[in-house]
Amino acid sequence: MAEKIGVYFDTQKIGPLLDCEPLAEKVRNKWAKACPVVKIEDNLSGEAGRQLIQADIDSGDIDSVCICGSSPRADWDIFDFGSHVLVERVNLREQCIWPFRNPDGSLPQKAEEADKLLAENALDCINMSISKLQKTNLPQPEDLEIVKRILVLGGGWTGCNAALSLARAGYEVLLVEKEQELGGYAGKLYKTFPKKSPFLRAEDAGIADLLEMIGKQDSITVYTATSLVELAGQPGQYTATLKNGSGQQEIQVGSMVLATGWEPLDTKYLEPLGYGKSKNVITSMQLEEMAKNGEIRCPESGKPPKNVAFILGFSELLDGIAREEEEARQRAEEEKAAAQQEQSDEEPSIEEPFEKTESYRHMYFTNELTCLNTLKQANYIREFLPESVAVILYEHMTATGIQELYYKEAQNDPGIMLSKGEVTAVETAPGGKLVVKAKDTLLGSDISLETDLVVVPTGLVPTTALDPVIQLAYRQGPAFPDLALFDGFADSNYICFPYETRRTGIYAAGSVRQPMSLAKSAADAQGAALKAIQCLESADRGVAVHPRSGDLSYPLFNFVRCTQCKRCTEECPFGALDDDEKGTPKPNTARCRRCGTCMGACPERVIAFDNYSVGQIGSMITQIKVPDDMAAEGPRILILACENDAYPALDMAAQRGWKWSPYVRIIPVRCLGSVNTIWIADAMGKGNDGCLLLGCKYGDDYQCHFIKGSELCDRRMKNIGETLDRLGVELERVRQEEVAIDDYDKIPGIIDGFVDEIMKLGPNPFKGF
């Protein structure tokens, strides 16, 4: 806890627009005991300024530092005085001075009132920061004994690349493959589409060379015909239970790269194209096997085909299946909701049951790969059967980036015909021939194409859509949560944090994360390997892995007051909490992302971090000076801003010259998920006229760094009505808004719009009490 705080005003950052001397004097008067050092300096961010502060620390005059100047997002490295010194940055420039707009206009006679309003805003911010330091303790990292061995689950192309990257980085690797040999589907390929310049010809996949390199690495232990039965523990201290013909064994590992890849989509989705009715309608996987074996023939006659039709465009035929699946899904959701309603009096289960999520949608997700694969296999026809013709009927030909060259090369081949067209039927004709009917072709007319062989695409379904795969011994269940939202793909935050799943220490790579080529999968494997290494090294130092990388704090529980309500265990987005038979939470520090969602969920306020707590933010709220007369001095509105998107957006808006109401006071929070409703009640009870919560976007296209924080906060805010009603405060005085980091241009409108609504509502009934 900060006992001797040094307060420093950086006049270079704030002096031209704010008179620092009166503010410094007020700090000396109000915080005489807490702040023995209060100084005004010209350039704190220079070497001389830093040395000045360091000298005060070394002399023992202060044990913590409060910098009144620019945003904490600027000069953060300069004001790092070591882990033994608490540092708080008062963002006066970006969130007080630059965005200041005189609510009464810019007339000269109003200048003095404007200066007063600006000074009041600045003083509130300073007081809040000093109070925050008084409620902050120096975090002490948890000392964990970790295992620097990394499990790579899946021995296909991606898994082998990840294992090789980890071994070359100096780490011991456990490579586990469920099949009899390594290689996965890459080992079944005849060729792959181009991976290097000039990107005109298919080439060998390179799996043999990769496996040879794996065999030369002494630090890689390979288990084939082996499955993962259970993964228990936490990052740095996992116990992996493996099962094979020799029985079961437990091996200690520190983190895991998930590279289990994909499985072919159920062929029922291909039945509208004649698959299963004619042997001469085959999947692209079957054609790949033919090419691998050295010849391409019609399965029915055994003769080489003269004409081969590749079908890519058949969305209308899929629509019927899609409607059936959507209707079935809706019925299942209604039945589930009804069952939950019947069991409403029973205690809800924390564990999420695993449900398969294979669907027609996977065919669409795989479109880019199926397009490139079709171009490759059309070239197979030209290679094996130079006199034969390949016809490609596509709805959307997707050849992104440099692969456009490969597409153009196919266009230039006289034996490969490409046409846009929506296939409406595949019918059997006399003599064993097939007739492909299509509409919406490039010529505009319907066509009927007689062919010997029809090749339909193979959709990719991630293994995590079909099976729990990771087999976690977590209270929340063995699989990743909310897989249905991601159609079964191992859920990572695609926008902010690729590779990172909802389970800390497990990093997805390759097609289990999203459909991708061999070249992209190899790069993806390296990325996931680096994240697995980062996880181990962070756990070894007792700090958070991500997104608050390096954070020494972790949640502390006052179990004496815990009522075993299980809200923290249920709402944690990352499964960091288990519980015992009574429902008492059992923390797993290395799983924790330090978002504070558990703290926001706890009704008894028994969860806190050394440097972030309910009491800390509550003390900051009490430092806001609320005027009694709203009409004369304006309202006071608390803004709780997510530090990940909203807070930077506020900074960027000010840096671009945007202005907003001076009546708001901004407090950054780790995540809106950490917002405890007591803060809202305290703010309203103290007389603040409104509370605006600015957080990340949530929903299917979420941008929340902590996945569900904003969504959980939104649920809580909908339930806060009863509390506000008891206080006699209108629900309209509390609002949550979604803000992306690039929504800085919308920030002023959001703030000013809310202030205008508060002005219409009038003063808070608690004002003056």
Name the CATH superfamily for 270-320+361-458.
FAD/NAD(P)-binding domain (3.50.50.60)
Structure tokens at 289: 């096997």
Q: Is the distance from CB of 241 to CB of 250 less than 8 angstroms? A: yes
Each residue of 123-149: pLDDT tens digit?
A: 999 999 999 999 999 998 888 999 999
Structure tokens at 140: 């002490």
Q: Across the beta sheet with 227-232, what order do the strands follow?
A: 227-232, 238-244, 247-253
Bridge partner list, 6: 37, 65
d(CA 669, CA 675): 8
Structure tokens at 527: 């990325």
Query: At the topology level of CATH, where does 612-769 sit?
Result: Rossmann fold (3.40.50)
Beta strands (DSSP E) in 365-505 are 389-394, 416-420, 422-428, 434-439, 447-451, 453-456, 460-462
d(CA 682, CA 528): 44
- C-alpha pair distances (Å), 566 with each of 214, 478, 679: 46, 19, 21
d(CA 9, CA 72): 14
Structure tokens at 436: 């492909």
- C-alpha pair distances (Å), 591 with each of 175, 423, 595, 647: 23, 49, 11, 26
For residue 763, what are the contacts with CB-CB under 8 A and spacing of at least 6? 630, 631, 635, 689
DSSP reduced 3-state for 271: helix
pLDDT for residue 493 is more than 70:
no
d(CA 695, CA 693): 6
Mean pLDDT is lowest, of 25-34, 136-145, 371-380, for: 136-145
Q: Rounded mean pLDDT of 650-669?
A: 96
Nearest to 371 by CA among 487, 459, 443: 459
Each residue of 464-484: pLDDT tens digit?
A: 999 999 999 999 999 998 887
CATH, domain range 1-138: 3.40.50
pLDDT for residue 272 is more than 70:
yes
Each residue of 187-199: pLDDT tens digit?
A: 999 999 998 899 9
CATH, domain range 149-264+462-541: 3.50.50.60
Nearest to 241 by CA among 351, 154, 151, 144: 151
Matching fold, domains 1-138 and 612-769: yes
Q: Please tell me the predicted confidence (pLDDT) of residue 339.
A: 66
Q: Please, which pLDDT band fits residue 344 given cuts at 50, 70 and 90?
A: very low
Domains in the chain: boundaries:
1-138, 149-264+462-541, 270-320+361-458, 556-608, 612-769
Q: Rounded mean pLDDT of 712-722?
A: 83
For the chain, the distance separating the N- and C-terminal CA atoms, rounded to the nearest angstrom, is: 31
Q: Rounded mean pLDDT of 225-230?
A: 97
Neighbours of 147 (CB within 10 A): 20
Q: Rounded mean pLDDT of 253-259?
A: 97
Q: Report CA 153 to chain centroid distance, whole Å.
A: 22
CATH, domain range 556-608: 3.30.70.20
DSSP reduced 3-state for 524: helix
Neighbours of 234 (CB within 10 A): 23
pLDDT for residue 289 is more than 50:
yes
pLDDT for residue 248 is more than 60:
yes
